[in-house]
Structure 1
Amino acid sequence: MSDSFTILLGGELEKTERLMAAMAGSRVIAADGGMRHAEALGVVPELWVGDFDSADPALFERYATVPRQTFPREKDATDGQLGVETAIALGAKRLVLAGALGGTRSDHALQHVVYAVHLAERGLDVLLTSGEEEMVPFLAGTVEVDLPDGALFSILGLTDLAALTIENAKYGLDRRDVPFGPPMTICNVARGRVRLTHEGGRAIILSRPYDFTGV
């Protein structure tokens, strides 16, 4: 059984080739209102979790056969976290957080980013996606991001970054110490598959694989 799980979250989600490729072969869990994405993606989740305060009532009839895990509204976790932790309990090693970005709740979107870094520190492979934008945690070590030539990407440092190297991009770096705060690593342009390395710190790589405005 697959150890790759897609969690449907309540943010923006556009069906794209990259999104469908990322989801291919994964098991699917919907978190509350994230179930609204299921029909467009052509999936039926194996489980639906949450307090169900944001799901369209019509979804309950449409997905009446999907097992639900119901939680109280007053709780110490978001519905998205409940979906993720359920997936981990079922053996997840790789997570696609679909609908993690955008939407009307910036607090939830930002929390997904922070939580993804935490999950990466626990050893999980995590992708956050809106279909149009993608984010992956960037801890010490090397990450390769497969992007079209000319696509935009940025590195968002959450701490100081030690000895950052950027290869196969318009603006390269060679073992540069990057302080937390200044936007030095925003709006770079991929020259195909980008290779990124640093020796200490935490960051997020944000990619816009369909955006070629930086060319």
Structure 2
Amino acid sequence: MTRFVILLSGPIDPTQDLRAAAAGCRCIAADAGIDHASALGLSPELWVGDFDSTTRPREAYPHVPVETFPTDKDRTDGEIAIEAAIGRGASALLLVGALRGPRSDHAFSNLILALRYAARGLDVELFDGQERGWPLAAGNPARTFPLSSGAQFSILKFTDLAGLTIRGARYPLDSVEVPFHSILTQSNEALGPVEVALGAGTAILLAEARSE
């Protein structure tokens, strides 16, 4: 499995866990996402974007190839970076800097991208040092997520859900239907690793990143 770190422009906390998750991965930076490279000990093999948000001059990274795109375009810089990674053989993506920031629409678009590429069969994780997220694969066997005891987590719904099972949590569920407008899956608490199965629907597990 070829895992790429995609550096996006949202804030990160370069914790030991985040650095460990990124270690040994190939890396592509999207615009201001390159600002995270040094903190994570990464050397991007490509830097893409319209460069309307980075505070670093491109000359600061003379060893990193650059691909420049117009500001007026129908793709985000993050989307361009992900497609570049796939073109280089990516089968797994770690999206760093995807979850927070001054504009909520940027975080929302990154969640949509995570869902899109997971639906295409890539292994996708979002991690910024404070929160971790994983798209849930409907119709597949239950998956266990490495949450620490006491970590808060939610299932973010993008459709109605069916057959949702949660084990290893303060509020377990057993093959329930959850309408899109329900907040039933908001603010649960892990008792340790959490097992989730989803029969049908589109959702992301978003969890507090805590070390034991």
Q: CA offsets per residue over residues 76-113 of structure 1, 9 Å max, x none?
A: 11111000000000000100110001111211110000
Aligned twin of 1:197: 197
1:30–1:66 CA distance, 2 compared to 1 (3 A): same
Aligned twin of 2:51: 52
User: TM-score, normalised on structure 2?
Assistant: 0.94
Asked if the contact 1:161–1:177 (Cα under 8 Å) also holds between the matched residues in 2, the reply is yes
Mapping 1:53-68, distance limit 5 Å? 53-56=52-55, 58-68=56-66
Mapping 1:1-215, distance limit 5 Å? 3-56=2-55, 58-140=56-138, 141=140, 142-210=142-210
Distance 2:69 2:209 in 1: 36
Equivalences, count: 210
Moved more, 172-181 or 199-208: 172-181
Q: CA offsets per residue over residues 16-35 of structure 1, 9 Å max, x none?
A: 12212221221011101111
Asked if the contact 1:97–1:126 (Cα under 8 Å) also holds between the matched residues in 2, the reply is yes
> Which consecutive aligned stretches of 4+ in structure 1 deviate over 4 angstroms post-superposition?
none
Asked if the contact 1:36–1:59 (Cα under 8 Å) also holds between the matched residues in 2, the reply is no
User: TM-score, normalised on structure 1?
Assistant: 0.93
Distance 1:24 1:108 in 2: 25
SS at 1:64 equivalent? coil
